[in-house]
Amino acid sequence: MVIYPTLKEKLDYNYFRSNLPQELVQLQRLRTLSQVQYFTGFTPPSLSNISTLHTLNLSFNPLQTKIPGEIGNLNNLRILNLEYDNLSGLLLIFNGSKIETLALSDNSLSGTLPLDICRRLPKLEGLHRSSNLLDGEIPANISECSQLDLLSLSYNKFSGSVE
């Protein structure tokens, strides 16, 4: 794959047939990586070096893997969408994040929601976690997420209530 130096902001609506190319990390101005279809690997760990990445949407891909912790190094990431990707393993919530939308529905993720989710993700507007293997108490203070306007936790094993 040839990466042109004039590509500055978006790389979306592509049909990669295997892993994302390692050359993506050369795009130091890339803001959006979205709607990449037929991707069967996961993000190269070096993708976390693209400090300008704002949107990472790899939904609807047969990834069948775990979410790499390196995604937490994307300090400017606002939208993370990994829905319908056959992901497994523990649910990851990153600290000090600028995340506004965290969409991980329809996977096989396990674990609990952290009790301090509103402190960890103060800009959170949308939390999509339906149809996973999550359990435990819904944090009683979830209403303290002042920006939250969409909360989807259905089809899990949560207990408790949202006030």
Q: What is the pLDDT of residue 38?
A: 60
- Beta-bridged to residue 32, according to DSSP, are 10, 55
Q: What is the pLDDT of residue 41?
A: 63
Helix and strand numbers, DSSP H then E, in the chain: 1, 11
Q: What is the pLDDT of residue 2?
A: 40
Two structure tokens written together for 140: 């009683």
Q: What is the pLDDT of residue 50?
A: 84
Q: What is the pLDDT of residue 8?
A: 45
pLDDT per 10-residue tile (average), the chain, 163 residues: 44 57 75 71 71 87 77 88 88 81 94 92 94 94 93 94 76
Q: Which domains does the chain have, with CATH numbers?
A: 10-159 (3.80.10.10)
Q: What is the pLDDT of residue 160?
A: 85
